[in-house]
Structure 1
C-alpha cells in the first residue's frame, strides 16, 4: 500500500471568485493564491486555507459546456508518483492521467486516478503557483 497523505479537497464550481468569497464569509477560509489556469485539464483554480483544516482547491472549467459541479476530487501527496500508480493500479485503480506538470502546482508532477468510485489527484510536491503574500 502506498504511503499517501490527504493533501486537499477539489471542488468544481460555476463562479470561482464568488464561491471563494462565500467560503471566506461563511466558513472562515482565506484565498491564498491568485487564479491559475491549468491548460492541460482545462480549468482555472484557486486555493483556500483555514487553520486546522485541509486546504480547498476550487476549480472552474475554462470552456463552456455541460459540466458536473460539486466534489471533484480528493488529493493525496505522493512523492513517488510512478510507484504509487503501479501500486494503486494493482489494487484496482484506473489511471485517468499519467504524471505531468501541473500549472497550479508550479509545474510539479500530478496524476489522476479513479479509485473507490471517486476521482483522486496524486500530487508529487506542495508548491502552489500564484501564492498571495
Structure 2
C-alpha cells in the first residue's frame, strides 16, 4: 500500500501552514469534521500530502492527544482501493480495529483507524482512495 498522507496534530494552524509553505507545500483543501472533532488542512507538494489536524475542542481525540503528547506526528495514512477487504484482513490477523466499519473522513473519503498498539505505537489510518 502507498502512503496517502502524514497527519500532524497542532494547536497553531496558521504558523504551521506558513512553515510548510516555506518547504514548498500548498494548501490543497481544508474541512471541519465535527464528527471527528477536528479542523483538517491538507497540504500537498509533489504528490506528497501532510494533514494538519487542529482540535475543535479539548475533549476531542486530537485535543486529548495534544494535551498528553503535545504537537507532532499524529498518524500515518495508507491508501487502499478496498477498505472493507483491508479491514477484514486486518481483523483476521488480530489487529485491534478502532473502526470496524468505514466512516466519512476528510474530503468525503471513507476511512478507518487501527489502534496504535498494532503498529508499535503509531496510529494508522486507511483511506479508500482511487475510487
Give the TM-score normalised by the residue count of structure 1: 0.79
1:23 aligns with 2:25: no
Aligned to 2:104: 101
Question: Following TM superposition, by how much is the alpha carbon of 1:125 offset from its aligned partner in structure 2, in angstroms?
Answer: 2.3
More helix by share: 2
CA distance in 2, matches of 1:125, 1:76: 9
Output one character per residue of 1:71-92: Cα deviation in whole Å (capped at 9) or x when no partner.
1111111121111011112223
RMSD: 1.9
Structure 2, unpaired ranges of 5+:
none
Q: Which runs of 5+ in 1 are unaligned?
A: 128-133
**Count of residue pairs brought into register by the alignment:** 119
Measured after TM superposition, the shift of residue 119 of structure 1 is: 0.8
Relative to the length of structure 2, the TM-score reads: 0.80
Deviation at 1:42, TM superposition (A): 0.6
Task: Output the CA distance in 2 between the equivalents of 1:75 and 1:62.
Answer: 21
Contact 1:16 1:45 in 2 (8 A): no
2:49 is the counterpart of 1:46: no
